[in-house]
């Protein structure tokens, strides 16, 4: 539920981001185009408040105000760094003459798990110590309905949290490729919801 404190925070944070655009010492009543744009940005920022935390500006706001900054929490940025490290590790373990498919699949699951927990952290929701990705998805669906389409991939990735780390279950080359593909989809979806730029994809040399 939004409070007066949230409203004030959204207004002043948006003014701080757009102060060069509006060129005014503080928000004031005016009908100039710059102030009207400021009010529109403020209203969008207010809607993007959740549990007292501001989400990063979306593409629409960035087009209106190129100077708009990301107000992502520090803890969220730390989760993203860990998730990106796991994703890069999964990619590297699939390369070379002797790829490690079991380890690659494990890091795929870890990257997807951390990205889901990134969203929970930014929402201010308590992060459970679980590895079932579909359970994390259920916690996020009330806030991000678009994650529903990832359920099949999340169930698939959950298998690699524990099973392939011990004797009796091994991942094939096809499993590793599928795990990396699903992790990429989870990663892209979470980054998009956070308002982050799409990750750069390097072109393969001919």
The DSSP secondary-structure symbol of 145 reads G
Q: How far apart are CA 162 and CA 165, in angstroms?
A: 6
Neighbouring C-alpha atoms within 13 Å toward the C-beta of 12: 6
pLDDT tens, residue order, the chain (206 aa): 444 444 444 444 444 444 444 444 444 555 566 555 555 555 544 444 444 444 445 555 455 454 444 567 889 999 999 999 999 999 999 887 888 999 999 999 999 999 999 999 999 999 999 999 999 999 999 999 999 999 999 999 999 998 887 888 888 999 999 999 999 999 999 999 998 876 665 555 54
Backbone angles phi and psi of 183, in degrees to 5: -65, -40
Q: How far apart are CA 64 and CA 11, in angstroms?
A: 16
Domains of the chain, first to last: 4-64 (no CATH), 74-193 (1.20.120.330)
Q: Would the pTM of this model clear 0.75, i.e. be above it?
A: no
């Amino acid at each position: 539920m939004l409070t007066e404190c949230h409203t004030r925070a959204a207004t002043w944070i948006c003014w701080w981001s757009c102060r060069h655009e509006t060129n005014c010492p503080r928000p004031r009543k005016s009908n100039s185009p710059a102030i009207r744009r400021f009010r529109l940005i403020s209203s969008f920022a207010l809607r993007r408040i959740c549990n007292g935390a501001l989400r990063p500006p979306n593409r629409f706001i960035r087009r209106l105000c190129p100077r708009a900054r990301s107000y992502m929490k520090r803890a969220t940025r730390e989760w993203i760094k860990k998730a990106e490290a796991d994703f890069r590790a999964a990619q590297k373990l699939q390369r070379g003459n002797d790829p490690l498919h079991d380890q690659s699949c494990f890091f795929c699951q870890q990257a997807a798990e951390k990205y889901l927990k990134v969203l929970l952290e930014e929402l201010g929701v308590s992060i459970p110590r679980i590895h079932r990705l579909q359970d994390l998805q259920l916690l996020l669906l009330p806030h991000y309905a678009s994650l529903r389409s990832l359920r099949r991939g999340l169930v698939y990735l959950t298998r690699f949290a524990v099973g392939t780390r011990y004797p009796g279950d091994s991942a094939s080359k096809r499993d590793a490729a599928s795990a990396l593909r699903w992790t990429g989809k989870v990663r892209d979806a979470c980054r998009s919801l956070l308002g982050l730029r799409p990750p750069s994809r390097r072109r393969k040399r001919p």
